[in-house]
Structure 1
């Protein structure tokens, strides 16, 4: 705290000095204007994404509404350089990777909502078991390379910002209902009266599931989201400088009958949607709440200061099949390597014969919090033909994960789990806490047709692990990380720009790690072009040189309880490729024919031989040239549509190439390439209402998405839904 107070004082003095020294800049200069809602945006619009120094993508409200996806993976698949490792088929726990960074639990991507860290504990436990429901979003922003330098802690791949729906100037209510395998309902009201604005909305998504248990129990989920926003215009109310006070509060919960237990390849080929009896009681149950207070003030036409205080809480109970009492490797059983006599037991086709055959069921109970304060200042200035946009930021943050894991045993009797009384024991009581202070500064300088952005982020991080059953894993750690970056945008014409840059990528070392564990570090380069007309075209090449790539053991990647959250140095690696996107809307009389296409080519591989003890990469020797797991070498997204004033229809296709399930060659399996085609159509029966129907996976393609941690798991089958959207 002694360090923080002087920094806050300096920050405040700097803003005041800037106001007096810069306020004489010409107010009519368009470059000096501030955009509305800039406190929650990073990019703000497609136009700004086009002129941004470095790689930036903006998904607007129209795009989100077109398919009305409840799965974030289906939305982000269209962005070049984004990889989604599906897990449950419906996007409950997305795995997002950017530019070859391992997508598992999105732990190498900075996730934000309205510009604020949204992960349950982004420093202490970056694996994101929570992700905002996509139907809350008004827009989404994705930034990679130099554009992601300001955002941490783990921005080696980049960052994703979910922007929730804004408060409306004119009062409006909206309802959205759809019925199908996945049922969805949304109701909202928003408006402004006098100096006060508000938004309230409620969302419910429910499904009985698409997989089948021998018992006939459902395998679906039930999610609820409630969001409230309040805004008071202090400037208009009291006079003086323009300023607003904003409050946001939300609550969400989920009950899902999901499992980590897949099937053998043979059973997958026979019926990919069957589940085994051992997973009958598997269930995720979580609650999430957040509160945020923000004050934004325009000190002058060129200086703006924003202060945000936030608190998030997340608690979860994850009941799941862990294994067998005798300790057999379940993945080996699923792959047919050993223990085939246990397979019939896991399926529920025979009874437990002795204590070694008892099934072990785990309850991973965890409580998280994430809280802090963020101070941001934007200062615009001009010096002759040079225009500066200086962004300064200070974030003080603290987060924690408190684990209380237990295991108990059960016998398989007549295809049902019969729990053994008195068998429950503690398996993990670790509590990890992180305190971080982040300072960032970025100066975006424009001169004629050239814009250069130079910035850096400094992280001062303290971590602590305590209460471990193995006290040798307890301890404190301190680290200071500097993350610089430079990007540029050069306008060759009004419609053609060159972009490029260089930046450092970083993934921090987590709490309780051995002193030998190093941060994941890379030097990232990018270069490309954007064309706005006559068609939109973007082509960017990228290269990431890793001095150390880092892996983290988790239950979902197949690790045992005593290895959970252990980190591993992987040594040197490289990731390079090309990202491209094209779009154009053809017109004929009253009809429009939008076409979009994106293609990503990625090579992700180790560049030095090493030995792996990390299940995520495989156990054994990793050789030079071995691939990083779950990164497709080729990925294509395409969309074609037809619409006029009252009718619209679109086809959306995603194709992903082969993926390796591990790096180690011995035992490596391939996830075969697959393609999925979705269709949607809507009819506007009035200016404020429409009916729609959509079919996900319209060709009913059966495809494999994961072999981790235990066997084969499928993507979702064909799903039909019909619905209505009405505004009042």
Structure 2
């Protein structure tokens, strides 16, 4: 595996009697890739030890090379008039991806490590170019309360799979922030997808080949995020903190899609898989000069694992409680302890790949940290 590149950035500021301008422009060149010549080795276990049976031939588990080259250029500015800040920007992305595979099956080649033209299996290439505009607004209403708003075009590049389009969406947000003694934030957001991209990974929870991509076509995701935080300091040196975060999500497909290994069989209005409607987090903290203790509660709704969302295509909601403590021995050394899932809740959190899977059980850790 390799990853390399170079980037440059130019900034400039300009002040007038009533308006301040801050400009920034940048260019980034990037290339990464993987060269995978793999083999399967077989072992057997005897008396608690793994013993090698067959080392395997190079290439019998995969023989391929993939590369990606990208050029990104952007320009953004920050325009300040009195206390109002406007932040327009523009970004250009150009990406090319290539993949070459050679034959590895014994019925098709005598040497799975061979990379000659005679042993070529297939080649594919994908090119993407996209222009991404955006603008943000920060409008203070009082010294502690501000309105925030923004419209940005989002983008996710697909894999080099043929026929797969990039993910594009126009994202909107509107809300307010308060920075007083009690921090408050309420943001409404909406993402209007022209194409929702499904990326298959080893942990994506779908019966598909890692690296493949799938078109989800048009979809809409909208929701509301509420955040509150407050700290109370006592005369005895104890500080008490409270953090609350709640997110409501509504995501659905806007078109019909034929059955895919990632999204399933989709009809207009079906829910987007693995998107919980309700999420809640409450955190309590107790801090002294050296001690700090935290109690965290989290809740997540049940989700659909396929768009059709039948009886055996849903998970269970889950509520977990975590505890952690931290003690500073000196300026550079500390010890810590934590218990995750204190009540040892057992919930079904995924159904793919290969059937139902539970959440992590109760776990404990004890350790120390040193700052050099």
SS of the equivalent of 1:639 reads strand
Query: Counterparts of 1:384 and 1:544 in 2: how far apart (Å)?
Result: 38
Equivalent residue runs for 1:164-563 within 5 Å? 368-406=1-39, 426-469=60-103, 473-511=122-160, 513-514=161-162, 516-554=163-201, 556=203, 557-559=205-207, 563=209
698 and 453 in structure 1: CA distance in 2 versus 1, 3 angstrom threshold:
same
The alpha carbon displacement at 1:673 in A equals: 1.0
Matched residue, 1:605: 252
1:251 counterpart residue number: none
Aligned to 2:363: 719
TM-score, normalised with respect to structure 2: 0.84
Q: Is the 8 A contact 2:302 2:316 kept in 1?
A: yes
d(CA) in 1 for partners of 2:55 and 2:362? Answer: 44
Deviations 1:30-64 (A, max 9, x none): xxxxxxxxxxxxxxxxxxxxxxxxxxxxxxxxxxx
- Greater RCO (CA < 8 Å, at least 6 residues apart): 1
The structure in which a higher percent of residues are strand is 2
Q: How far apart, in 2, do the equivalents of 1:380 and 1:409 lie? A: 63
1:592 aligns with 2:239: yes
Q: Please state how far the C-alpha of 1:596 moved relative to its aligned partner.
A: 0.4
Cα distance change on mapping 1:522 and 1:668 into 2, 3 Å: farther
Query: SS of the counterpart of 1:518?
Result: coil
Distance in 2 (CA, whole Å) between partners of 1:584 and 1:433 is 48
Over aligned residues, Cα RMSD in angstroms? 3.0
Q: Partners in 2 of 1:566 and 1:725 — Cα distance?
A: 40
User: Structure 1: which 5+ residue stretches go unaligned?
Assistant: 1-367
Give the Å deviation of 1:479: 2.5
**Separation (CA, whole Å) in 1 of partners of 2:159 and 2:363:** 40
In structure 2, the CA distance between the partners of 1:666 and 1:642, relative to structure 1 (3 Å rule), is closer
**Aligned-partner Cα distance in 2 for 1:434–1:601:** 36
5+ residue gaps, structure 2:
104-118
Q: Does the residue aligned with 1:486 lie in a helix, a strand or coil?
A: strand
Cα deviation 1:171-208 (Å, max 9, x = unaligned): xxxxxxxxxxxxxxxxxxxxxxxxxxxxxxxxxxxxxx
Q: Aligned pair count?
A: 352
TM-score, normalization: structure 1? Answer: 0.45
Change (3 A) 1:419 1:587: closer
Separation in 2, partners of 1:609, 1:602: 21
In structure 2, C-alpha distance between the alignment counterparts of 1:686 and 1:477, rounded to whole Å: 55
Offset at residue 593 of structure 1 (A): 1.1
Per the TM alignment, residue 600 of structure 1 is displaced from its structure 2 partner at its CA by 0.7
1:659 aligns to what?
303
Counterpart of 2:60 in 1: which secondary structure? strand
Bigger helix share: 1
Q: Is the 8 A contact 2:207 2:352 kept in 1?
A: no
Q: State the alpha-carbon separation in 1 of the partners of residues 274 and 222 from structure 2.
A: 15
1:581 is displaced (CA, Å) by 0.8
**TM-aligned CA distance change 1:610 to 1:388, over 3 Å:** same
Equivalent residue number for residue 580 of structure 1: 226
1:404 match: secondary structure: strand
